[in-house]
Amino acid sequence: MKQPIFTGSWGKCHIQGIAADLEKGYIYYSFTTRLVKAKLDGTVIGCVDGLMGHLGCIAFRAEDGRVYGSLEYKSDSIGRGILSALGSSAALEDAFYIAIFDVDKIDRMDMDAEKDGVMTTVYLKTAADDYNGAGRGGAPHKYGCSGIDGTAFAPLPGAPLGKRYLYVAYGIYGEIDREDNDHQVLLCYDVDGWAAYARPLSQASMHRSGPEEPAEKYFVYTGNTTYGVQNLEYDAAQQALFMAVYPGKKEEFPNYRLFAADLAEPAEQAALKGLEEAGKRLRLKRLGAYHPASDTYGWHFPYGATGLFSCGGGRWLISEPHLSESGQCSWIYSYVWNEKTPFVLAEEGFF
């Protein structure tokens, strides 16, 4: 197949994430308020629409054949912007969910997320508590939490060949005048028992069915970023969780666009810089450019924040967003791993 895969154009809201089922030959796109299902040659099969919140990063789980994605409702500038793009005056409750799509049922356009039995949701109480909580010195939003975005399935730290858990990354407000928002925060969940929590979503009456707390909460010191981890993706070859971000604005940090959290080693309980607490810390992989003053590693790779997918064997699919005359769209390019850059465009598409 020639480069690249074209997503099609999907209105005013830009692409947020990609995931693929390589065995069945499907690729999935999150376009903020809808999930799109397509073949790997770009042929669109159908979509799930009707969401008035922010559907962010998505991840495919091979164990149950479903797509999981972060779904948040909030009354900040992001939430208001989504409603404005939809031309809606709805007043929605603040709520944070993992949306679970039964993608085998997606067989036509404009399926309804609430009514067509294709999507259930699980409420994330911990994310809501931190979003509504206070940070250091009483600053709003604990850890600078702006909600949730990045999602990925990966082993626990130090267990690269073990069972895979759902990691959910916080969004982080990009405030430069506080020191308690310089970590990426990752919630880790065992989803095997989630059938007991999953409920259809009613946006008119948000449910609160979900686990009381995650299995683990991890912290990764990167320096502040603008809205935290946009895309989270596990790569088994590197034993790392890759975190694509919009760069931060604090001058004391290199403000990389891509980081890799090390899952080859167990997390360590440690005091957390800038926070008045200790927690389980994941170190960054010693890959890419090193910034001694902040002791951080990363890359200034320009893409990935709108879609990052590891195909295995050093092969990656990465979104490059565009705006066409017909609306927001993306080109999905095939890349190969290169530690320094860290990706190089493949000579031709993989599929």
- pLDDT tens digits for the chain (351 residues)? 578 999 999 999 999 999 999 999 999 999 999 999 999 999 999 999 999 999 999 999 999 999 999 999 998 777 788 888 888 878 788 999 999 999 999 999 999 999 999 999 999 999 999 999 999 999 999 999 999 999 999 999 999 788 999 999 999 999 999 999 999 999 999 999 999 999 999 999 999 999 999 999 999 999 999 999 999 999 999 999 999 999 999 999 999 999 999 999 999 999 999 998 999 999 999 999 999 999 999 999 999 999 999 999 999 999 999 999 999 999 999 999 999 999 999 999 998
Distances from the Cα of 257 to the Cα of 226, 229, 254, 288, angstroms: 10, 10, 9, 11
Specify the residue for token string 């799930």: 48
Tell me the one-letter amino acid at 83.
Answer: L
Cα distances (angstroms) measured from residue 169 to each of 8, 47, 153, 202, 337: 28, 25, 12, 24, 23
pTM tops 0.95:
yes
> For the chain, what is the domain count?
1
Per the structure, the complete domain to which residue 191 belongs is given by 5-345
Residue 33, Ramachandran bin (φ over 0: left; ψ between -120 and 50: alpha; else beta): alpha
The CATH number of residue 224's host domain is 2.115.10
Q: Residue 237 class from Cβ within 10 Å (0-12 exposed, 13-18 middle, 19+ buried)? A: exposed
Smallest CA-to-CA distance from 71 within 46, 51, 42, 50 is with: 51
3-state SS assignment for residue 128? helix
Judge whether 305 lies within some domain.
Answer: yes
**Residue 351 resides in a domain:** no
- Is 78 part of any domain? yes
The phi-psi region of residue 121 (left if phi > 0; otherwise alpha if psi is between -120 and 50; otherwise beta) is beta
* 31 lies in some domain: yes
Query: Could you tell me if residue 232 is inside a domain?
Result: yes
Task: With respect to residue 291, please indicate whether it lies within any of the assigned structural domains.
Answer: yes
